[in-house]
A and B are shown apart, each in its own frame.
Chain A
């Protein structure tokens, strides 16, 4: 292999000098800063408001920083705010959402990845039809299926339970996730799969030892997709669970939209931020992982 350093030695070295304040840079960063401010402003208002007491909020200066910082609204939002008869704040909904999201994500990704693997590598008679039907499922509006699913869940005794909602999320995640995994596994060279078969690996051997280690990036993508989707879900949560088992989003809505008494803007803001925190954290953590996964995939032989 030619040495790129040696090859470049005959030419001038170093990067071309650039001015920091060129017209292009001013325009670029100016626009970026303005857009960033535009998106950050609501977050700023939320954070600031959540740290104020109600008397200060009533003064009406929503942009001014708090004169006296109080974490009272955060505590109240987490553990004291009332929705209906329950007065233990968002914490109940948070744990409900965790209990919904974690099994739903694990189950749906586990099943869909095997689905995609089987459809991409072990073509069986009718696999194309099976796949077409599965994808077609993604285009049926949720509203059509809401009530039939209520009846089905009731018949199998899962209506109103967390397991019922987990089941619904798992099923609804299937089309898009299967598509995702099938396309990824289809891009893995077929000869690799053949070589593993000659080497005596079976269906599960190839899946766990060959395919899984190669597909970190697509798993990260699927996790992001599912965690944010299921955590932010409102419709299924409100339809298929009861007040005791409401996910966080439904509970947030009930806190913010309660019509009785004074509207506690600071508590509402704190509750909203707490609810949004989980997908935010997922993005920050897995975003980095995601980039690493892509990079690792790109170097593969």
Chain B
């Protein structure tokens, strides 16, 4: 993140942003460059500073130190209306006493646009969002999804460079949420505007984003495209936060067998020759993070070590799976999830989850052999919690 880029070349650039209330520092030395037309998602648990960062970019919060550039202009001390941004809020924030048309027109009237231009822009936005029949209704007479459409329209009519979304779908029920999610993605493909989107929902982040900034405690933990975030999480926090069901972590240390580095825990060993990254020296304490879909559980065959046998057909796990060195695990809990099942196992004295086909045939207490797809696993330093 230390790359020095020219703020003029990016759509939105946050430089060394600091925000503090007295001695309480919310954001410290935060830098972020967002490219033209990019869809950035700020993702993190509540209280991580993601909404605060968005409010700083919008100009709704006065920052303590640093600079904010939008479209090559230093807007650090400019009013929100002069920054070329439109914002969509979680609670829709529609003006209750005005009709939908009035809501859309409010910003344009404040900007002093002529009547004809206002009508034209409202007609266009209404067409894009398909809210023409609602134009003369009051917000109270709209459903949640319709209200959020109008709120998006309010940003749309202003013809802004950058769209800011502050958890726009969090107040909607699950079905509407997935509908509007697709709609926002479509809108982005149609308009090609820069969009910054705050959410705590990783599904929204993974589906919408060009790049995701995972935040915790006011610090960007990792900024990367969704695939990288998912497959190569920068640290333990990102690894645990992204993915559902979550990644499980095994504590152990680096060993060696037949010239191949291995992961050793409680007498079991896993070969690490397939690992995409640097395996530290022998004896180093590490944490191995594996996603459930990269663990294959198989029936214990007569001769042991037949990793991936049985359930090996499941997903990628069967593919470059490495034997667990005969240390079979025990099924503790079986969580059927419809299309497949989540198995909670006890492996080397630690909890581990594995995805299995819906008809896996395992019962609680069964002994299973395990196959790991190490090429998709992550090793973390025990001290720094960073990926190795």
A interface vs B, CB < 8 Å? 189, 191-192, 194-201, 205, 209-210, 213-214, 299-301
Q: For residue A210, which residues in chain B have a CB less than 8 angstroms away from its CB?
A: 95
Q: Which residue in B58, B96, B142 is a CB contact (below 8 Å) of A300?
A: B96
Inter-chain contacts of B58 with A (CB < 8 A): 194, 198
Whether B110 sits at the interface, judged by CB under 8 Å, is yes
A301 and B139 within 8 A (CB): yes
The one of A191, A198, A205, A301 in contact with B80, judged by C-beta atoms closer than 8 angstroms, is: A198
Q: B154 contacts which of A197, A199, A214 (Cβ < 8 Å)? A: A199
Residues of B contacting A189 in the complex (Cβ-Cβ under 8 angstroms): 91, 93
B80 CB contacts on chain A under 8 angstroms = 197-198, 200
Chain A contact residues, majority secondary structure: helix
B-side contacts of A201, CB under 8 Å:
106, 110
A198/B96 in contact, CB under 8 A? no
Most central of A197, A198, A209, A214 by chain B CB within 10 Å: A198
A301 CB contact (under 8 Å) in B110, B142, B158: B142
B328 interface contact, C-beta 8 A: no
Partner of A205, one of B55, B86, B110: B110
A210 and B96 alpha carbons, distance in the complex (Å): 9
Q: Which residues of A have CB within 8 Å of B86?
A: 198
Bitwise, B38-66 to A at CB < 8 A (1) or not (0) is: 00000000000000000100101000000
- Point out the residue from A191, A209, A301 that lies within 8 Å of B106, measured CB to CB: A209
* Across the A-B interface, the 7 shortest Cβ-Cβ residue pairs: A200-B81, A199-B107, A200-B110, A191-B93, A195-B93, A301-B139, A301-B140
Task: Considering the complex, give the chain B residue whose CB is closest to the CB of A194.
Answer: B60
Check A195/B110 contact, CB under 8 A, given A213-B97, A301-B142.
Answer: no
On B, residues with C-beta under 8 Å from A are 55, 58, 60, 79-81, 85-87, 89-97, 106-107, 110-111, 138-140, 142, 147, 151, 154, 158, 166
Instruction: Name the A residues within 8 Å of B87 (CB-CB).
Output: 194-195, 198
The A-B contact count (CB < 8 A) is 69
Chain A residues with Cβ under 8 A from B110's Cβ?
A: 199-201, 205
A94–B87 CA distance with the chains assembled, in angstroms? 54
CB distance from A218 to the nearest CB of B (A): 15
Whether the pair A214, B93 counts as a contact (CB closer than 8 A) is no
Chain A residues, Cβ within 8 Å of B96 = 214, 300-301
Identify 18 residue pairs between A and B in the complex whose beta-carbon atoms are under 8 Å apart, listed by A's number.
A191-B89, A194-B87, A195-B87, A195-B95, A195-B151, A195-B154, A197-B79, A197-B81, A199-B106, A199-B154, A200-B80, A200-B107, A205-B110, A213-B97, A300-B96, A300-B97, A301-B92, A301-B138
Complex alpha-carbon distance, A194 and B158, angstroms: 16
Query: Is A194 touching B95 in the complex (CB atoms < 8 A)?
Result: no
Of all chain B residues, which has the CB nearest A213? B97
Residue of B55, B91, B95, B166 touching A196 (CB-CB under 8 A) = B95
Are B140 and A198 touching (Cβ within 8 A)? Answer: no
In the complex, which of the residues A191, A213, A214 has the most CB atoms of chain B within 10 Å of its own CB atom?
A: A191
Q: In the complex, what's the smallest C-beta–C-beta distance from B18 to chain A, in angstroms?
A: 18
Q: Which residue of chain B has its CB nearest to the CB of A205?
A: B110
- Contact assessment for A301 and B107 in the assembled complex, using a CB-CB cutoff below 8 Å: no
Chain B residue, CB-CB nearest to A188 = B96
Residue of A nearest to B141 (CB): A301
Least CB distance from A217 to B in Å reads 13
Output the nearest chain A residue to B95 by Cβ-Cβ distance.
Answer: A210
Q: Which residues of A contact B94 (CB under 8 A)?
A: 195, 301
B81-A192 in contact (CB<8A): no
Which B residues touch A300, using CB under 8 A? Answer: 96-97, 140
- The residue in chain A whose Cβ has the minimal distance to the Cβ of B158 is A199
